[in-house]
Structures are given as C-alpha cells and as structure tokens.
Structure 1
C-alpha cells in the first residue's frame, strides 16, 4: 500500500523520466563490447564491510552474468557481440557453468546477432566458449592448455602409517570410494571403472560441443580433434593451422581488425614544426580510420548496455512489483552447524538454512530454484535439509538444478524437490554411505601419550581412537552403515517415485555424468539454467513480455564477526589438505578431536573430490515422510505482526534482477 501511494504521488515525475529515457534511446548503438570477468562468485554480499571490498576482489556474481547474456539475446538493436575472454577466468568456473554460458551464446547467435570472440590464452574451457563464435580470434604468442579431462589420484595410507595413524573406512556400496586415498595405496577396481567411465563421458560431451562450432567443416574438425588428442599444449599457430581459429590479432588491435579487417595502424606522417615554419594542413584520415571511428561510435560496453536496457524496460504506469522467483545456492560440503550460524561460501550449513527456507515459504516468490553444487557431507545435516526442502515444496514449486557436482548428500537433499534438472556435465549420484574411524594408538605411543578408559560399555570402543573395535562393535557399525544406506535409497525412491529395485540398480555409490541419467528417473532432464527458468515461465502461463524478477539467496554477510565465526576454509588440494591435517598436531588430542568431531571437512580437504556422504554418528535418525507433491497442500507459517512488518520493510530494499 505504501508503495502504491508513492507511485501515484510521483506519477508526473515518472512520466517526465519516461519521456527523457525514450529520447536517449533514439541514438542507436548496435555493437556490444563485452569483457568476460576473470572472477566469479555464486553469492551476493551484504554487510557494512562489503562496501570496502570491491567487485574485483569479491568477484562478479555468476547468475547476473547469465541474465546479461539473455538480455543481449532479447535486445532489438544489437547486431554484433564482441566477446573478450581473459586468460584467468577458467579458475572461477566449472564445466557446468561453461556449458550454461555456451548454451546462451548459441541462442544469441541463433537470434541473428553475430558473435566475435577473442581469447588471450587459457585452456579447454576458453576454447569451448571461443567455439560458439562466428569469428574466432586469439592473441599472438599465447599458449592454451588443451588436455581433455583426465585424473591423477594420490594415496596417503603409507604416509599416515609412518606417523602411526590409520583411517578405518566403512562404506555401503562398492563404488563408494571417497575414503580410498586415506586407507589404501591404490584405487580399487570398482573406483577405477567408475572414474574411467566418467572421464570418457565427459570427453565425449566436450568433443560433441566442439563439433558444433560454426563454420567448422568436418575436415577441419577432424584436424582440431586430432590436435586435442595428441597435444596437451597448443600455441596460436597450431590452432590457426587446424582452422579452428580464423585469425591471430593483438588485443589492442581487436576493434580495428573487426571494423577494417586490418591489424596494423594506418600510417600517419608527422614532422617537427619550427618557430618560423607555417602550420601544416590538417591530416586527412584515410578510409580505414574513418571506418574505425564510425565503428567505435556504434559500440558500447556492458555498463552502457545495461543502462539502456533499464531505460527501455521502464514503465511509468507499472505500480506493482513484477512477480519473482528465488535462486538459492547450496554450495560446498554439507555440515550441521550451530544455532545462529550464518550462511557462508564453501559450506552448506543446515542450521543456517532454517530461517532461509522459512523466509522462502512466507515470501512472494512463485517458485524456488535450488542451485546445488555440493559433493555431499554429513548424513544428519543432509536429512535435515531434505525435511526443510520437503516442507517448502508443499507450499510452492521447488526445482533443483545441479551445477558442477550434486552427489551423495547433494543428491539426497535434492530428492525433496518437485523436479530435478541438471547440466549435462554435472557429476551426480553416489547413492551410498561412507564412515571414517581414526585409529591413532601408534601415533599416541610415539608422542608418549597414555590413555585411561573409564566406564566403557560393550561397544564404547567405537568412540575411542586408541581401541580396536571388537566383534560386537564392528558388527554394530556395519549394521548402522547398512541401515543408513537403506534409508538413503528410501528417500530417493520416495522423492523420485521409483521402485526400490530401480534405485538399488542405480545405487552402490556409483557416480554418474548427468547426461547418462536421462530417462532413468533419477533426474527429470538435462538442460541449462536459463532454459529452466524460461520453461517455468511458459508452464506457469506467463507471457513472454511479462516481467519477472529473480532474487538470489543467501546473501553472504561480509563483516568482521562473520569472518571470525566462519573461520578459514580448508583447501581442497591433496598436499595442502594433508599438510593441514599434520599441522593440527601440537598434541595428539587436537588431531583426534578434529578427526572425530568434524571428519567431513578434513576428509573433504584431503580427498581429491569423489563425492561422498559422511555419517559420523553410529546411528542415524530418519523420519517417515510422504513424497513431495507439486500442488500446494498447506499455507505459509504465520509470524508475529512486528516481525512481518519488518520483513516487508526489508523487502522494499532487496536486490532483484529482471529476467
């Protein structure tokens, strides 16, 4: 009501602004020069410290960049898109995000907008984006890492044994191999089979996209494919000879080349003017210089393009906010957290999502998209998130979209969504359970630390880092692991509407490339994120011209308190992860406490990335629930009037993105 009052009050001013905007749009600019950012983030930032941390440090949020590409496709004036790809941007994106961007670039080209792409080095992901352009240019003297997906694993059992530490691994599912790097000296045949299948499928999908490169004939593609398979490093000449690249152009000569077809500057004659010399006649520009000047006048950057689009979309009589959907990002290892924790990058904190999901239930969003990019984590935290998503899916439609990886616990929580969609190259599945138990008696002996046990029961030795579990304890641990495995499969069967036999056939801890799961029932489809949102528009009956806003959640709080509470994230590399583990040993107590209390984060840091699902407790509590339905079954929870008023006030200033 307050919004309506102010809109009517300032209506005359809004009409003046509308007329001014229309006048500024009369000057047409048909060329967009877009620099791809070299830093991306999945989260919006808030808090007073975010004002002092520039975007060059935080990174550009990935989702608005995708929305920008869609806005380019919908533009009525644009005729050409010049895309400059920096050499360092690959470190910020995974293959799923690269495929999302590539899909939107394909649609831009299909809309009749010519794409010219220029790269100044990089790797295979850079070349994949380059392949979506009509004209492909690279800088001279640069190298590209062109190795197709591959893997080298490291095993630490020998090193851990030398320091007196052993990691016992209990798993359900023969392909559940995340603990092998800690407990073995080499991979099992099942893990090797699974990894080989994943790599082969990834290679096939990437080469399939390269085969669709515009204006690349079959013979040229064959030469380029042979180059990728035979050389891990290629230079500009290699790519030019394979006909994948059209020309080699310096970055500073890029616009001149596109405008004139020439890379060199026009030659201008200059001479020194002495005191008595006559002033020479003005230099006359040649045709190429005039062409470049005209070209630059028609060119705009991303900032100016967005400004013009905002003016184009401005409507003085639009008094209500457009309908909205929410994209929520669940990124990182799934952990339980504590009451009062805030969402943070790199971890999906179950406790922090309680209020977020409640806000989504009560919020105005027509639908929620869960952007899942998680290799899994703690089983009880995954179950808690499952229950929260299940409650939300009974209030409004919830769609899960899989990014780079959504496996084990990441797949578990997604089964509560009404539908599951995935990028073709997303890693998913890993339906299985794995548990770790440290055995550090030899280490404690080396450190001359003696333990004394009091009031140990029949199976309490499971909780001791110095005791070898007895037969009864081992049987209990194996039984509880098998029980958690059955509960996991039950959640999948309920959420996906599959029979227990079909889930069992797909389980076993096997990891899949999402493209393999089409038609299996484990996912509904493979697509890209923009297509998912557009399909929702059509399904919900929204017209193409009807505006739709997108909210991004959660917003990360960049302030001193949040930085202290979240702590320093553990690196995912093998060596740094192992060093972090060993550095925890001023005394064995600290090491064992970390291993027992939070095995998920430490092991995730040490293992190279096979998705896992950790269950530190001996028993896991599962609750019987009904399968989520797409239709609305219950209304939002009621809140107190003061809290509701504050929530509505905050919503007036929230950040939204037009879609």
Structure 2
C-alpha cells in the first residue's frame, strides 16, 4: 500500500480510528497502517477506538502489532462513545489511555454463541445424517443440543481465552490478576469508573489525547497536526471525491453478516 505523505510528516502525529466490530477486514487495514507508521517514522500515534469489540484472533493480532510499534512510537488511545471488550483489549497495546467520562467500556470477558434450530427442523420434517471422525467433530451443530461433554470442552476454551484477556489487562495496567478479575465479569462501566478501576489513565476528549501524544514526543500541541490513515477507496471514488469517504477502519460488514460469519467463534465483544 502506498500512502501520500507531506515532507513534514515526521512532525505529525499518525491517527487511526477503529470503529464498529473488529473482524478480519479491520485487522488487515490496521496492520497495514501500523507498518507504514513504523516505516515512515512517525513519532506518535493517536489510536481512536469506537468499537464494541469483535473476534478474539483479530483483536490479538492488532494488540500484538501495537505492542511492537510501541517500542519505537508513543501510542495514546482515545475511547469514543463505546470501547468495550475487544476494544479494550487492543487499547492495552497503547502506552496511555484517555476516555470520556460517559464512555461505555469494560465488558471484559468472552462469549461464544451457536444456533440451534432443531425443533424448527422437526416441524418441517428435515433431518441430517452425519458421519464424523470423532464425537466432537460437529460440536455446536445447529440441528441438535450440546452434550454435557461438549459444554465442558467449550467452557474450557472460553476460560482459556478469558485468562489471556485478564492477563493482558493486568500486565498493561500494572494491576494484580485478582484485581482485574474483580471487575472482569462481563460488566460494562463508564469512563469515570474505568479511571477509578485503573483501566484508563485520564478523562478527556480525543483532542486531549492528541495534545498528550504531541507532548510525549516533544512536539508543540498547538502546531502539531494528525495524519489520519483512511480505508482505501476504489479508484473511481478517489477521482470523484466520494462524499462517503471514511477516516475509519471498520469491519465493513453488516451486523447480520457478522453474526452469521462468527457463529461458533469465541468473541471479545459487548453484546447487549
């Protein structure tokens, strides 16, 4: 990917906005942007997050890339209206976190959902014949209930993923694991509550986060601008200047598509 840069980009702060559910498309775009930020030697990154979370693997990859970038670039995360679950997880890759007092955050935990339409299939006279190599090969199949053994297997999977989340928050925020567990039960809380819990560093706006990022690298916050990395638009849209241009990296799919595509996957997501 080739991004246009002005000669003064080293005196600019890079900015990425992650919005909506975190999924594969978001991960790919964010990782490309982070690589470019490192290559072009931006001194700081403002990471704006307005997301309820998303898939575990994609959130982990974004977090890992942020941690690596943080060895060379100062990163300040800014929570928008909502930054929950996987949104919190990726923010752990930042050096500092700012949130609005009323930001909805938290929801630290894991959820896995499957669909069971067994009774509907019975009503319409549809059944399936399954030949499988092992008893758990069709775990979470939509045409039957889970067995107790399958529930135990899935619970172990969830518990492992949950442990990874708690450990990451504890290390990033310099909190005891047991302290994190005391509020990492899936509950949501405000930015003000998050400050009291130690999940964030300051209350403030995105502008406050931008100024902090500038100060951290010795730039004048009054003069320093942000270079926002945007989603790549189709060539025709770039030529015509589409009014739908976005400065956000999002999943790029509707909620129904996301639900269907992630059925049976463990998610770090706030799902009211």
Q: TM-score range, shorter-chain basis?
A: 0.7 to 0.9
The answer (yes or no) to whether the contact 1:369–1:400 under 8 Å persists in 2 is yes
Q: Deviations over 1:195-225 (max 9, x none)?
A: xxxxxxxxxxxxxxxxxxxxxxxxxxxxxxx
Corresponding residue for residue 208 of structure 2 = 531
Q: Does 1:399 align with 2:64?
A: no
SS in 1 for 2:22: strand
- Which residue number in structure 1 is paired with residue 179 of structure 2? 502
Cα deviation code 1:461-497 (max 9, x no counterpart): 4142113222211111111111111111011111111
Map of 2:228 onto structure 1 = 552
Q: Secondary structure at the match of 2:163?
A: helix
Deviation of the 1:556 alpha carbon: 4.1
Instruction: Indicate the residue corresponding to 1:459 in structure 2.
Output: 136
Question: Between Structure 1 and Structure 2, how many residues are aligned?
Answer: 255
Judged with a 3 Å threshold, the aligned counterparts in structure 2 of structure 1 residues 567 and 388 are, in CA distance, closer, same or farther, namely closer
Q: Which runs of 5+ in 1 are unaligned?
A: 1-45, 47-319, 338-348, 572-579, 582-593, 604-609, 614-659
Structure 1 residues 561 and 509, CA gap change in structure 2 (3 angstroms): same
Question: Is 1:489 the counterpart of 2:166 in the alignment?
Answer: yes
* Structure 1 residue 430, shift from structure 2 partner: 0.6
Note the alpha carbon deviations across 1:542-578, whole angstroms, 9 max, x for none.
3467x32310112441457999xx998436xxxxxxx
Structure 1: how far apart are the matches of 2:156 and 2:78?
33
Distance 1:567 1:415 in 2: 20
Q: Following the alignment from structure 2 to structure 1, what is the Cα–Cα distance between the partners of residues 12 and 211? A: 13
Where 1:487 maps in the other structure, the secondary structure is helix
How far apart are 1:597 and its partner, in Å?
3.3
Matched with 2:8 is 321
Tell me the secondary structure at the aligned position of residue 53 of structure 2. Answer: coil
SS at match of 1:548: coil
CA distance in 1 between counterparts of 2:87 and 2:251 reads 23
For the pair 1:334 / 2:22, whether they are aligned, the reply is yes
Q: Which residue of 1 aligns with 2:254?
A: 570
**Residue in 1 aligned with 2:150?**
473
Give matches, 1:182-331, under 5 Å.
Answer: 321=8, 323-331=11-19
Root-mean-square deviation (CA, aligned residues, Å) is 3.2
Other-structure match for 2:270: 611
Larger Rg: 1
Which of 46, 51, 62 is residue 374 of structure 1 equivalent to? 51
Displacement of 1:498 in angstroms is: 1.1
Q: How many Å separate the matches in 1 of 2:237 and 2:163?
A: 41
For residues 259 and 96 of structure 2, the distance between their equivalents in structure 1, rounded to whole angstroms, comes to 36
Partners of 1:370 and 1:400 within 8 A in 2: yes
Q: Which residue of 1 aligns with 2:97?
A: 420
Task: Say whether the 8 Å CA contact 1:496–1:522 is kept in structure 2.
Answer: yes
Instruction: Give how far 1:520 is off.
Output: 2.4
Please give the alpha-carbon distance, in whole angstroms, between the structure 2 residues aligned to 1:476 and 1:432: 17
Q: Is contact 2:97–2:201 with CA below 8 Å preserved after alignment? A: yes
| 1:595 CA displacement | 5.8
Change (3 A) 1:560 1:459: farther
TM-score (norm 1): 0.36
| 1:108-127 map, 5 Å | none
Any gaps of 5 or more consecutive residues in structure 2? Answer: 239-243, 245-249
Q: Is the 8 A contact 1:409 1:612 kept in 2?
A: no
Structure of greater relative contact order (alpha carbons < 8 Å, 6+ residues apart):
2
SS, match of residue 351 in structure 1: helix
